[in-house]
Each structure stands twice: as structure tokens, then as C-alpha cells.
Amino acid sequence: MSATTWAWLVLLFPLLGSIVIALGYRALPRKAAGAFGTLSIALAFACGIAATVSLLGDDPHSRHHASSLWDYASAAGLDIKLGIFVDPLSLFMVLVVTGVSTLIHLYSYGYMQSDEGYHRFFSYLNFFVFSMLLLVLAGNFVLLIVGWAFVGFASYALISFWYRRETATKAGMKAFVINVVGDIGLVLAAFLIFRELGSFDYGEVFEKAPEAFATNEWTIVAICLLLLVGAFAKSAQLPLHTWLPDAMEGPTPVSSLIHAATMVTAGVYLIARTHVLFELAPTAADVAAFVGLATLLVAATMALVMTDLKRAIAYSTMSQIGYMVMGVSIGAYSAGMFHLMTHAFFKALLFMAAGSIIAAMANDQNIDKMSGFGRAMRFTSIAFVCGALALAAFPGTSGFFSKDEILAFAEARGGMYLVFTVLGYVGALLTAVYAFRLVFRVLPGTPCKEAQELIETGHVAHETPKNPATGEPEDTDVGFPGSEHHIAEQNWPMRAAMGVLAVLALVGGLVQIPGVDDVIGKFLEPVFEESPLAHIHPSLAQDYVGLGIGGVIALLGIGIAYLLYVKQPERPRQLEQRLRPLHTLFVNKWYFDELIDVLVVRPALAVGRFADRVFERFVVDGLVSGTAETVRGAGGVVRTVQSGFVRSYALLLIAGFAGLALYFLLTGS
């Protein structure tokens, strides 16, 4: 079978899984639903591999295929087909997405066991995977927007999965609305592309663009900036990032899959996919790179001070995506995609491990209350450390190779781009510190109450769980896990998922060692063969100097964290005191939420209130319908006349109509 046929199957299985599980919410037993959901994703992964094998059989220069099922909406010169585009880039994403998703489904199979909404969860999760695959396989901008919006919806549905929790539904709404803003950016970009090139189709657009646009012409810059609005909203880049930390309200497997490994990287994929356009608009590409850089630094500072375990990891996600956005924007395409893959491994792993600790803590995510889990949950702790090592770019781990590849490229490109290398290393130092801050605060030390209970009895049981944000008791009827907690270590599917990811997080970088092998670079090469930027390669010396610096920085960061959180635990407090303004800024998340509130939310609500209370009452009802009100006020006489008039008009109409009809029937012509 051809690569495109396999790709259609990749799309089919998750969709089928989602529909079957949704329809069978009463008939299917729990285990069957979970198994079915996991199996459908595993099958999609298998088909993805088959598609890749089939594609590798082609000549490198013709490794791109388009295929379409039917005319989706074609009229008036808009030619929109239900079509996909298969090339190494889209298949790379397919493999990462389905591979990691399979493991997270497996994890969820155990993790969500005590949840009342088990079927709903798997149906949504399958739908998410389908949407994400649609996003990466789409063959034109319209279908891309469809996939883009579908993942946004899936994200909304899963963030507000525990829908009786008001904090969760609010967070879901926030994520959805910000993502719609991103969708609008994409839609406008599509309109502008259509205006200039007369097509939405990838193949046609990328072929025509170089002839149609001069470098940095305003239209192409505008197109790219609009695409970036979409990319930033989805990938939580400044200033459209505020939904991501709140999204941690969802169940932990969701944070792991959607808000760490896959969906949030869509913006990176988009920039890589449309690199032809971005190379024609270097200004826009530079904007993207600087936003990525700013995000990676700002988010790292927030990750340093967050006391909420999942939110701290979420800020770390933002920061790491900042690296990727920076990478693909400066032309380090395969390096950016490589980091996307390794990040998917280690970040999914970190979330899984965090989830298992949070489950033991009855959904309390505050790290101030955690300690001593190293002894209580050995397997989880090892997994957590593996993830943290990779995140901190410890020499030899996956993150070590991928992060450095981006920074080395920036160095090789030279000039202004050296800024990215230098500040990238600053970010790397912060990363190592915050990663091991989490490790040192949660794992060692005297066990907290829950950890102690776990060590002594081997399980934890709590009273009714409470929402840590509001203190309300959780509503266990609608699916919030009850007092029985599933500890990751005691459940083989969760262990298997974490185990595999831990290995990948450690050794996943070995496919791309400078001077030794270049698996991902070679695989993606055909996609970027026409790009002048993709032909910039750092020299081997540059690579190894970079790796050396990176390794030292990682060790330094871990050392600092050790010093601050193990050796001298009182030091962080002192630092907070001394750097009070800075700390306040970080803890308050740089006041982005407040800024958006003042600039957007409040004015909109004020306008709404004005429209409702003043305009509607005095202008619409007062002026225009002055007839009805004032006439009625003027006296009963007029009213009877008026309503009498209406009634007789109505009767007259019926009578007249009947008469005319009769006339017509009788004359019969």
C-alpha cells in the first residue's frame, strides 16, 4: 500500500475509537473501553510506521504525496478538498504523536481506573489524537485550521473534564477562547494567502510563493505574522500563554499528552511546515525567534518559583517550546523537531511521575507539602529523576543533544544569532536549577504524611478529596477520583508506560550525535532540501565545544539546586527576601493575567453592560420603538386603534388571500 493509504488509516483508527467508545458508553465494560482506546492508537502508530517504511522506499526527491478523498467545499474559485499531505515532516510528527500517545493511553488505562468518567475520558483522548493527526497530515490550510480547532476543542473538553469543578471549567474556557484567537490568526493568514496566490493547497502555495513575493514584502510578512498568532496561541508563547498553566486543572494524563508532549508543539510544526513562507519573510522569522527566546527566559523564571508541581512543569513546557520555536525560526529545522521529540519523551514522563505523586497526595499539587517520596515511591522517583536529568540536559541524556543542536546552529549562523546561543545557555542554567529544585523538594527528606502512610501500609486512603484552589469538596459523582488512589507503581500499565519513556528520555538523543549519526536530520532532509538555511551546519568543533559548555552548565545548575534545596534549605527564603521585587514579579507570573484582564476582559464586559443596561433600554427601545411605548402611554384610545388596526389588517390579509386564491381557482387558467 502507498504511504498515503497508510496515512488515511492513521487518521481512521483514533476517530473510530473515539466514536465507538462514545456510543458504547453504557454497553462497553470499563476495561474494554480503555483497551479499545489504547489499541486504536497503537494501530495508528503501526500504520504510521508502515507509512514511513513505504515513504522511505521512494526516491528522496519525491518523498511527498498528496491525496484527497472528496471535494469538501469547492465553489466560486475556492478549491477545498478533504486532502492530506504526506512527507517526512508530517510522518515524523505522526510517529511522535502516536508513539507517545500510545504510552499515555496505556498509563491512563490504569490512572483513570477509579474515575467515573472513564469512557468519556478515552473518547475525548482518542478524539484528541485524531485531531492532532489531522492537524499534522492536513494537505491544505483549511484542513489545517480544522485540525487546529479540533485539538483546541479536545483540549478544552479535557481541561474541564471534571466539569463540576468551577476552576476547571473556567480554565477550559480560557484555553478555548485564547485558542480561538489563534484560529482567527490562521484564518486571516489563509485569506491573505488566497488573495495573493489563489489557493489554500500546500503544494501550490509553497510552489508559487517564491515567485510571487519579494523577500520581506509586506504581504508575506503579514501572512507570517498572522500564522504566528495561531502558533503562539497554541504553543503558549508570550503573550498568549496564560491558558497553559491554568490548563493543569485537567487530569494529569491530559497534561502529559496534550499540554506537554503533543498539542502545544503544533506551533513549532506550523513554522516548520510553512518554512518556505518564513524564509521569504525574515523579519517575521526573527520576530518569532525573539518571542521564542523571551518565552523561554520568562517562563523559566516562573518555573523557578512556582509551588504548584504541575504548574511548575507547565512553565517548563512553555520554556522548552520557546527553544523549539526559536530553533525552527532561525532555520534549525531538524534540530527544532529533534528537540520536539526528546521533549515529548521527557516531559510526558515528568508529568506521569508527577501525576502519580499527586494522586497519592489526593490531588494536592503544592510542593511545600510534599517530601520524602523517594522512599515511598521508588519507581516513580526513578522515573522523575530520569525526566529531570533529560530536562536539565545532563550529559548523555536526550535533552542534552537536542537542546545543544539548536544553540550550535544559532552559533553557526552567526551575527545577531549569537544572542540566541548566549541567552539560550542562560535559559539552560535556569532549566537545570528549576528541574532539580522540584526533584530535591519532592523526593528526599523526611516523608510527609502521605508518603509515610504509603511506606507503612502500601496504600493511601483519604477523606473526600478537596479542590486545593477553593477548598471545596470534590464532586466524586461526576468522575473525580474517589478516596481510592491508584499509585502508579502498583499498576503494570502505568509502570510500563513510565518505564519505556524513562529509557527513551535517557537514550533518545543517541540517534543524533554530532559526527556519529544523524538519523533525524537525514530523515527530514528532503523536506528542507530547497532551503538555504537548512544547509548551514555547525562544524564538528563548534558542536563539541557547545556540548561541553552545555554539559558544564547542566552540572552547574544541578549543583546550585543541590546547594539551595538540600545543603542550605534556608537560603531560598533569604534570597526571596533579598530579591523581593523580582520574586513578586515571578510569583505573580509577570502580571500577564492582570494585563489581559485590564486590556481585554474588563473593557469587553463594560461594553456589554453598557449595551444591555443603557443602550438597549434607552436607544433601541426608547427611540426606535418609541411608537409602542409612547403611543401606549398617550392613551387608551390610540392603543385600541392600533391593536384594532393590527387585528383587522390580519383578518383583511387572510380574507384577501382567500379571495384571491378562490378567484384563481375559479377562473382556472
Partner 1 sequence: MSSALLWAPLAFGLLGLFLPRRAVGPWAVLGALVTLGLAIAIVAGFESGSSGMQYAVDEPWISGLGVDYSLGVDGLNLFLVLLTAVLWVGGVAFAALREQERPKNFYFLMLVAETATLGAFLAQDLLLFVLFFDLMLVPFYFLFGAWGYDRSGEGGPTASAATLKMIVYTLIGSLLMLVAAIATAILAADGGDITFSISELAQQPLGEGSQRWIFWFFAAAFLVKMPAFLLHGWMPDAYRAAPLPVLVVFSGVLAKVGAYGFLRVVLPVFPDATVEFQEAILLIALASILYGSVMAFTQTNVRLIAGYSSVAQLGFITVGIFALRADGADGAVLQMVNHGLVVAPILIIVALLLERTGSEDIREMGGLAMRAPVLAALFLIVALATLAMPGSANFVGEFYILNGLFQEKIVFAFVAITGVAMSAYYALRLYQQTMHNRPASQQGPGLLSREIGIRDGLVLAPLVLCILALSLYPQLILERTAPTVEKTVAKVHRGESPEAQLANMTIEEKRELESGNLELVP
Residues that bind partner 1 (CB under 8 A): 22, 25, 70-78, 80, 120, 142, 145-146, 148-150, 153, 156, 160, 163-164, 166, 169, 172-173, 176-177, 180-181, 183-184, 187-188, 191-192, 194-195, 475, 477-478, 604-605, 607-609, 611-612, 616, 619-621, 624-625, 627-628, 642-643, 646, 649-650, 653-654, 657, 660, 663-664, 669
Q: How far is the CB of 605 from partner 1 (least distance, A)?
A: 8
Kindly state the smallest distance separating residue 641's Cβ from partner 1, in Å.
Answer: 12
Residue 576 grid cell = 526571596
Our CB check for partner 1 shows the closer of 461 and 655 to be: 655
Least Å from the CB of residue 635 to partner 1 = 16
When the beta carbons of 71 and 530 are compared against partner 1, the nearer one is 71
395, 404, 410, 421, 614 from 553: Cα distances, Å: 10, 11, 18, 13, 61
CB of 505 within 8 A of CB of 349? Answer: yes
Q: Smallest distance, Å, CB 107 to partner 1? A: 25
The secondary structure of 605-626, three-state, reads HHHHHHHHHHHHHHHHHHHHCH
List the alpha helices (DSSP H) in 306-417: 309-330, 333-360, 373-376, 378-391, 398-413
Q: Residues with Cβ < 8 Å from 125, sequence gap 6 or more?
A: 37, 104, 105, 108, 158, 253, 254, 257
Report yes or no: 360 and 454 within 8 Å, Cβ to Cβ. yes
- Closest Cα to residue 240, out of 185, 305, 187? 185
Beta carbon nearer to partner 1, 14 or 372:
14
In the bound state with partner 1, the residue whose beta carbon lies nearer, of 532 and 668, is: 668
Q: How far is the CB of 254 from partner 1 (least distance, A)?
A: 16
Q: Residue 260 CB, nearest distance to partner 1 (Å)?
A: 24
Whose Cβ is closer to partner 1: residue 133's or residue 504's?
A: 133
- In sequence order, the β-bridge partners of residue 75 are 78
Nearer to partner 1, 192 or 533 (CB): 192
Nearest-approach distance from CB 223 to partner 1, in angstroms: 13
Least distance CB 189 / partner 1 (angstroms) = 11
**Residue with smaller CB distance to partner 1, 192 or 566:** 192
160 close to 59: Cβ distance less than 8 angstroms: no
Nearer to partner 1, 153 or 592 (CB): 153
CB-count exposure of residue 567 (10 Å: 0-12, 13-18, 19+): exposed
By beta-carbon proximity to partner 1, the closer residue of 172 and 521 is: 172
Ramachandran quadrant class, 393 (left: phi over 0; alpha: psi -120 to 50; beta: rest): left
Which residue's CB is nearer to partner 1, number 76 or number 516? 76
**Residue among 340, 332, 170, 315 at smallest CA distance from 263:** 340
Q: How far is the CB of 477 from partner 1 (least distance, A)?
A: 6
214 or 654: whose CB is closer to partner 1? 654
- Extended beta strands in 425-542, E state: none
Which residue's CB is nearer to partner 1, number 452 or number 642?
642
Backbone φ, ψ for residue 27 (5° rounding): -80, -40
3-state secondary structure 247-270: HHHCCHHHHHHHHHHCHHHHHHHH
Is the Cβ of residue 588 or residue 643 nearer to partner 1 in the bound state?
A: 643
Closest CA to 40 of 85, 82, 101: 101
Residue 635 makes CB contacts below 8 A (sequence gap 6+) with none
Cβ pair 243, 258 in contact under 8 A? no
Residues contacting 415, CB < 8 A, separation 6+: none
Closest CB to partner 1 among residues 177, 426:
177
Least spacing, CB of residue 537 vs partner 1, in Å: 39
In whole angstroms, the minimum distance from the beta carbon of 628 to partner 1 comes to 5
Identity of the amino acid at 344: A
- Residues in a beta bridge with 466: 473
Question: Minimum distance from CB of 562 to partner 1 (Å)?
Answer: 44
CB of 275 to partner 1, least distance (A): 23
Burial class, 212, CB count within 10 angstroms (exposed 0-12 / middle 13-18 / buried 19+): middle
| Beta-carbon count within 10 A of 463 CB | 8
**Three-state DSSP state, 362:** coil
Instruction: For 137-186, give the secondary structure using H, E and C.
Output: HECEHHHHHHHHHHHHHHHHHHHCCCCCCHHHHHHHHHHHHHHHHHHHHH
Long-range CB pairs of 451-456 (<8 Å, 24+ gap) are 451/360, 451/370, 451/371, 451/372, 451/373, 451/375, 451/376, 451/377, 452/372, 452/376, 454/360, 454/376, 454/377, 454/487, 455/375, 455/376
Please state the closest distance from residue 98 (CB atom) to partner 1, in A. Answer: 21
* Residue whose CB is less far from partner 1, 552 or 605: 605
Cell 539560550 maps to which residue? 424
For residues 345-373, one letter each, b for 16 or more C-beta atoms within 10 angstroms of the residue's C-beta and e for the rest, the string is: bbbbbbbbbbbbbbbbbbbbbebeebbbb
Q: How far is the CB of 165 from partner 1 (least distance, A)?
A: 8
d(CA 554, CA 564): 15
